Amino acid sequence: MEQKRGFASRIGFIFSMAAFSIGIGNLWKFPYMVGNNGGGAFLLVYLILVLLVGIPAFIIEVTLGRSSGLSPVLGMRKLEGGKKTPWSIIGWLGVIAIFIIVSYATMIVGGWTGGYIYKIMTGSLNGLSADEIAQTFGSFAGDPFSLVFAAAEALLLWFCLCSGVKKGVEKVCSILLPMLLVIMIGLSIYSNTLSGAWQGLKWYLTPDFSKISLSSIAAASCQVFFSIGVGMCGAFVYGSYSMKEGNLPKSMFITGIMDTCIAILAGILVVPALFAFDIEPTSGPSLIFITLPHLFNSMGSIGTVFGVLYMTCVFFAGFTSIIGGSEALVAVICDGNPKVDRKKAATIVVLAQFLFGVVFTLSFGTGTLSQIKILGLSLFDFADFIASLCMCLGSVVMLAYVIFRWGFQRFKEEANVGASGIVRIYNWMKVYICYIYPVVLIAVFYSIMRMYF
């Protein structure tokens, strides 16, 4: 039986959750994090943390959302019997995190990626050296011209949100996610047929244990939060849309695995190609907008096709995440203001994200706001720090709610509603959830803060 508020089917729910999780963190951030942190060593640590940190946090957040049937701010109030309590901070931390992330993602996905698709198609980057491409990106990233592409993406986002959950969010994600997967598999196959690609694949998949350090563990921890999308209220809202009879632990496990597979596939696609053309994989955040265009130029005529398809993948992945994050904010507005309809809420969300995105864009590179610093960080980096803080802190507080307010037994019962088969919450997991996981999460929180200061 279809719910009035929610997804049309379980597969639609899984696809939408996966599309929300799979974003620029997978195709942009993951390959350069691998490059900066020892290749296979980072990959191994990341996979372990997905299982120990990411998926448990994901299940907890979605369970709270499904149990409340509302967006996080009002949802936590409902779980507390309708009373305003300090636990509402869970909702507000998620709202702050998702608003910041979606705001600058709108610029990265719409403005920068959209602009680069145009630049690669028209050949304006052809023949440029790596330094010249860097100069081009530095001027383009903070240039008002990039806002034209971001505005076009914002308009497309508005239409999707106004169409509703089933006809808009679910339908778009169910189309774009398979397309993303097909293109990435095709590019990965081609990338690994290049001469010299084998050395890159070997470096990527073979862990060098001497490369594992506290800094690489901290980087992997941060990547898990960004990639899976926990602690930013999107999972909470999607949980509130899910059907009670659905197998929630199984759905979240599948979603986490899908997200992880796309991240791994991004590495299989990018790293071998970099090795094939003797380009260092340690280029950091500039990888997708400076190093990869240099790679595309090195590939000759096929580089244009390869570049357009890869940037299209980045756009698809980023856009589906933006839809998921924006949908969460629309739900928060509509739940808290019954007189505000979906169209008006979507308009507020898209405009606010776009305006804040403009500020973030102009603070990047040679933008007019690039000289403004807060705690020694640019506006862009400071916003990223606040989002990271809210995500991780939100996950810690949600875990505290499960342990001290609900108790493990109620959490197990709520999570297992509709569960069947072996993927469920078991009594033996209490030791990990209540005693080990808090220490792990606090350590992750500390590690992420160390990355910024």
pLDDT tens-digit series, residues 312-324 = 888 888 888 888 8
Q: 164 lies in a domain?
A: yes
Whether residue 4 has pLDDT greater than 60: no
Q: What is the mean pLDDT of residues 345-374?
A: 82
State the pLDDT at residue 3. Answer: 40
Q: Number of structural domains, the chain?
A: 1
Distance of CA 444 to the CA centre of its chain: 18
Per the DSSP assignment, residues forming a β-bridge with 373 are 378
Q: Comparing 99-113, 116-130, 189-203, 283-297, which segment has the lowest mean pLDDT?
A: 283-297
pLDDT bracket for residue 163 (50, 70, 90):
confident
**Which residues have CB under 8 Å from 117's CB, separation 6+?**
308, 311, 312, 315
Q: Rounded distance, CA 398 to CA 390, Å?
A: 12
- Give just the sign of the alpha carbon dihedral 372, 110, 165, 389: negative
Best-predicted range by mean pLDDT among 79-88, 125-134, 266-275, 398-407?
398-407
Q: Rounded distance, CA 330 to CA 138, Å?
A: 33
Name the residue with higher pLDDT: 57 or 171: 57
Q: Which two tokens stand for residue 414?
A: 């709520």
Q: Comparing 64-78, 319-333, 340-354, 375-389, which segment has the lowest mean pLDDT?
A: 375-389
Q: What kind and span of H or E run contains 297? A: helix 292-298
Q: How many residues does the chain have?
A: 453
DSSP 4: S
State the pLDDT at residue 2. Answer: 37
Q: What kind and span of H or E run contains 322? A: helix 302-336
Percent of the chain with pLDDT over 90: 10
| Domain span including residue 44 | 10-452
Q: 4 lies in a domain?
A: no
Q: 326 lies in a domain?
A: yes
Q: Rounded distance, CA 188 to CA 30, Å?
A: 15
In angstroms, the first-to-last Cα distance of the chain is: 50
DSSP string, 88-108: GHHHHHHHHHHHHHHHHHIII
State the pLDDT at residue 170. Answer: 67
Q: 227 lies in a domain?
A: yes
- Give just the sign of the alpha carbon dihedral 185, 186, 191, 195: positive
Q: Rounded distance, CA 191 to CA 198, Å?
A: 10
Q: Which two tokens stand for residue 277?
A: 């053309």
The pLDDT tens digits of the residues spanning 390-437 come to 888 888 899 999 999 999 999 998 888 877 777 788 899 899 999 998
**Which residues have CB under 8 Å from 328's CB, separation 6+?**
71, 94, 95, 98, 232, 233, 234, 236, 237, 238
Q: 198 lies in a domain?
A: yes
Q: What is the mean pLDDT of residues 443-450?
A: 77
Is 171 within 8 Å of 183 (Cβ atoms)?
Answer: no
Q: Comparing 23-27, 29-33, 57-61, which segment has the lowest mean pLDDT?
A: 23-27
The pLDDT tens digits of the residues spanning 66-106 come to 898 888 888 888 988 888 888 888 888 988 988 988 888 88
Per the DSSP assignment, residues forming a β-bridge with 378 are 373
Per the DSSP assignment, residues forming a β-bridge with 374 are 377
Q: 26 lies in a domain?
A: yes
Q: 3 lies in a domain?
A: no
Whether residue 44 has pLDDT greater than 60: yes
Name the residue with higher pLDDT: 376 or 51: 51
Q: 2 lies in a domain?
A: no
Is 8 within 8 Å of 248 (Cβ atoms)?
Answer: no
State the pLDDT at residue 365. Answer: 62
Percent of the chain with pLDDT over 70: 91
3 state DSSP class of 143:
coil
Residue 142 dihedral angles phi and psi, to the nearest 5° = -100, 10
The one-letter amino acid at 106: T
State the pLDDT at residue 433. Answer: 92
Whether residue 284 has pLDDT greater than 70: no
Whether residue 167 has pLDDT greater than 70: no
Q: What is the mean pLDDT of residues 98-115?
A: 84
The pLDDT tens digits of the residues spanning 207-264 come to 888 888 877 887 888 788 777 777 787 788 888 877 666 677 888 888 888 888 888 8
pLDDT bracket for residue 453 (50, 70, 90):
low
Q: What does the angle CA 311 – CA 316 – CA 317 come to, to the nearest 5 degrees?
A: 95
3 state DSSP class of 376:
coil
Q: Rounded distance, CA 453 to CA 451, Å?
A: 6
Q: Rounded distance, CA 184 to CA 67, Å?
A: 36
Whether residue 1 has pLDDT greater than 50: no
Q: Comparing 58-62, 166-170, 319-323, 377-381, which segment has the lowest mean pLDDT?
A: 166-170
Q: Rounded distance, CA 151 to CA 300, Å?
A: 32
Q: What is the CATH number of the domain that holds 303?
A: 1.10.4160.10
Is 66 within 8 Å of 43 (Cβ atoms)?
Answer: no
Alpha-carbon distances, residue 358 vs 311, 368, 369 (angstroms): 21, 11, 10
